[in-house]
Amino acid sequence: MSDLFNKCLKFTTAREVMAAGYYPYFHKIETAQGPEVIIDGQKKIVCCSNNYLGLTQHPKVVEASINAVRKYGTSCTGSRFLSGTIDLHEKVEKKFARFIGKESALLFTTGHHSNLGAISSLVTKGEYVITDKLDHASIVDGCRLSLGQMLRYRHNNMNDLERILSKFRETPKLVVIDGIFSMEGDICNLPEIIKLAKIYNARVMVDDAHSLGVLGKNGKGTAEHFGLESEIDIVMVTASKSLASIGGFIAAREEVIHFIKHTARSLIFTASLPAAQVAAIDASLDILQDEPERRVKLWENTNKMLEGFKSLGFNTKDSKTPIIPIHVGDDMKAFQMWRMLYDEGVFCSPVISPAVPEGEALIRTSYMAIHTDAHLDRVLNAFAKIGKNLGIISGTYKPRKASDKMPKSRIFKHLRITSKEIGDGSKKWMKNLFWRFGK
């Protein structure tokens, strides 16, 4: 007789990857999230964190969270819709709406829930939601949960977007894009998207998960970066990155937020964000505005690493942000490079197909305002050593001088990890994992 759990008994691929020593997931971090952490008793430089402004250990953020626990306890025990809304939720909603320049905002328990709730509520039967093919998985999930039809255009390809929009000029539609793309580190072409949306009567929603605190003169995100703050209809932001907490905001006109508030299943049927996390958001929003030097330092570090990687000959794709991908090519080679970097004390993330196209595997790195030059130089030296070892680059890293010219990128022959080291079934599992949880 067939048993539901048979598939679980047959699932051995992850264990095979573990046995081969190339398993990159679920590493137990034993310290607070800073530029360095302890994993398995060893110190690692963190190059995969989204803690862009370095606020997770800021004294004001920590103190605000502790005080909130003392006042409100550890849980709100219910959904926002029923018994789980406290005054602190509404305080940060108003503060965020003012900061981002929208009439109203709504706080969800996670950023994933924010995209699920907003998109699935707003896009109904007979309507369309149009996304970039490299949009985050939470956007894709929100589209799938809606009753409308999802259409996808080639990454940052405005001709392809216009081709789709032109087919549905008279039909209600929503264009949803990432401000900064989470794997590639490039920025959406918001000016052209806004232009096309006006021509073809579409609404625009921007996911600023990786943009808040990073882009714009005041850290307000993609719209401020391009001077288009009044032009986008909906802004989504996670609190798990620059705001040093967890949760997610949707900000828009008051009537739009009112509608989502009363129709979003991911809000109505999920327990609300605990007070400690809300207080951390509250404090982080203040620091984001009061300490602009953090954003200055973040961009100094970003520019140092972009220039450093390029001077070594690495291909950093089209990144212009603190998310810097290092092109490797072969999927298994990316896992080998990840392991070698890990052994050198650098903690980063391998990304394989289909999260990226076949043959475009990469090592995803990201940087924080609290990284020191010493941290960054050690990272570049590790990449230089391993990149040369694997035949991706030649040469060694030397700190750049202002007068140095940047050589052109050079991509060398790929080295493969064989199926003997990681079975074909394990390769397939790792790809499926990225399909489900990546793009």
CATH of the domain at 297: 3.90.1150.10
Q: CA 430 → CA 339, 346, 416, distances in Å?
A: 15, 21, 16
Asked if 90 contacts 282 with a C-beta cutoff of 8 angstroms, the reply is no
pLDDT of residue 395: 61
pLDDT of residue 432: 54
pLDDT exceeding 70 applies to what percent of the chain? 90
68 and 174 co-located in one domain: yes
395 and 324 co-located in one domain: yes
Q: Does residue 286 lie within any of the structural domains?
A: yes
161 and 203 co-located in one domain: yes
Rounded Cα distance, 65 and 396, in Å? 44
pLDDT in tens, 292-321: 999 999 999 999 999 999 999 999 999 999
Strands 36-39 and 42-46: antiparallel
Arithmetic mean of pLDDT over the chain: 90
Q: Compute the average pLDDT of residues 402-417.
A: 32
252 and 350 co-located in one domain: no
Domain of 226 in residue numbering reads as: 59-290
pLDDT exceeds cutoff 50 at 408: no
Quickly count: other Cβ atoms within 10 Å of residue 124's Cβ: 12
User: Which residue in 136, 210, 297, 427 is the catalytic one?
Assistant: 210
Decide: residue 240, CB within 10 A, 0-12 exposed, 13-18 middle, 19+ buried: buried
- Split into its structural domains, the chain has a count of 2
Rounded Cα distance, 269 and 272, in Å? 9
pLDDT in tens, 263-291: 999 999 999 999 999 999 999 999 999 99
pLDDT exceeds cutoff 50 at 416: no
358 and 421 co-located in one domain: yes
Residue 357 binned pLDDT confidence (cut-offs 50, 70, 90):
confident
106 and 211 co-located in one domain: yes
User: Which residue in 102, 225, 241, 327 is the catalytic one?
Assistant: 241
DSSP 162: H
Decide: residue 119, CB within 10 A, 0-12 exposed, 13-18 middle, 19+ buried: buried
Q: Where do we find the tokens 């590790």?
A: 382
Residue 332 binned pLDDT confidence (cut-offs 50, 70, 90):
confident
Rounded Cα distance, 194 and 349, in Å? 33
Annotate 11-37 with b (16+ C-beta within 10 A) or e (fewer).
eebeebbeebebbbeeeeeeeebebbb
pLDDT in tens, 198-216: 999 999 999 999 999 999 9
194 and 205 co-located in one domain: yes
**Structure-block tokens of residue 9:** 């008994």
Q: Does residue 52 lie within any of the structural domains?
A: no
Question: Residue length, the chain?
Answer: 439
Q: Does residue 54 lie within any of the structural domains?
A: no
270 and 388 co-located in one domain: no
pLDDT of residue 407: 34
26 and 70 co-located in one domain: no
pLDDT exceeds cutoff 80 at 434: no
Asked if 236 contacts 114 with a C-beta cutoff of 8 angstroms, the reply is yes
pLDDT in tens, 157-201: 999 999 999 999 999 999 999 999 999 999 999 999 999 999 999
Of the residues 244, 275, 290, the one at which a domain ends: 290
Q: Does residue 145 lie within any of the structural domains?
A: yes
Q: Compute the average pLDDT of residues 242-257.
A: 98
pTM here? Answer: 0.89
Q: CA 167 → CA 15, 131, 162, 174, 359, distances in Å?
A: 48, 15, 9, 14, 33
Of the residues 260, 290, 320, the one at which a domain ends: 290
**CATH number for the domain harbouring residue 127:** 3.40.640.10
155 and 63 co-located in one domain: yes
135 and 228 co-located in one domain: yes
Q: Does residue 209 lie within any of the structural domains?
A: yes
pLDDT exceeds cutoff 80 at 437: no
DSSP 270: S
Is 241 in the active site? yes
Q: At what angle do helices 373-389 and 331-343 cross, to 10 degrees?
A: 130
Q: Which helix (H) or strand (E) holds 290?
A: helix 275-290
User: Which residue in 182, 242, 311, 426 is the catalytic one?
Assistant: 182
Q: Which helix (H) or strand (E) holds 191?
A: helix 190-199
Of the residues 245, 271, 290, the one at which a domain ends: 290
Rounded Cα distance, 330 and 417, in Å? 9
Q: CA 7 → CA 10, 11, 65, 207, distances in Å?
A: 5, 6, 42, 36
pLDDT of residue 353: 78
Helix (H, G, I), strand (E, B) or coil at 330: coil
16 vs 125 pLDDT, higher one? 125
In 3D space, the residue among 195, 156, 196 whose CA is nearest the CA of residue 178 turns out to be 156
Q: Which helix (H) or strand (E) holds 173?
A: strand 173-178
**Structure-block tokens of residue 431:** 């790809």
pLDDT in tens, 2-50: 899 999 999 888 888 888 888 898 999 999 989 999 999 999 999 999 9
Q: At what angle do helices 331-343 and 424-437 cross, to 10 degrees?
A: 90
